[in-house]
Amino acid sequence: MSEFKISRGQGKCSVTGRSFSDGERYFIALSADAENEGVFTRVEISAEAWERQSPGAFIAFWPAEFSSKPKPALMDPDLLWEIFHRARQPEQEVRFTPEEMQRFAYVAALGLMRLKKLKLRGTHRKGKVEWSIFETPGKGKDKQTYEIPTPKLDPDDIAGIEEKLGELA
């Protein structure tokens, strides 16, 4: 099994090469490596260069805001997005069970909601499983929807999962 890994940002636009300034909004996107199955490349694209990108060029993308100041792990949207996307692919993780990975994805989604990077659009049932539907802010091609199984968690469960999130990153 290969490990799903997203590299840290470089602080500059992958298209123009221009460094981001504090507070600047940009997009982080993942593309599949054509030569290596299960390998993904992270790119950071300024808002103005994003408009020129093809809608199907990336398997995942999300908006971000650049800051040169370090963030606590659970308040770092880049880290939460990494955990969220990795946790949605439990077959690639050997340290945790698929159930733990679903819980990680859900708690990461809650953290992204707190940071206003995701919105809860609703829930629905498939058999005995309740699913939460999350959506990124934005319009048109900038909006993505994710469905995640909703685990039954109490506050102590959430606190325990938050402690383990750093191990996944």
* Residue 148, phi then psi, degrees to nearest 5: -130, 135
Interval 13-53: pLDDT, tens = 999 999 999 999 999 988 877 777 767 788 999 999 998 88
Question: Which residues are within 8 A (CB) of 60 and not within 5 positions of it... i.e. 6 or more apart?
Answer: 29, 30, 85, 144
Q: Strand pairing of 129-135 and 25-32?
A: unpaired
Q: How many domains in the chain?
A: 1
Domain-located, residue 51:
yes
Range of the domain at 74: 25-168
Interval 55-65: pLDDT, tens = 678 888 888 88
Mean pLDDT, the chain, rounded, equals 82
pTM: 0.56
Domain-located, residue 43:
yes
Residue 3 in this model has a pLDDT that exceeds 60: no
Crossing angle of helices 77-87 and 98-114, rounded to 10°: 150
Alpha helices in the chain (DSSP H): 47-50, 77-87, 98-114, 155-168
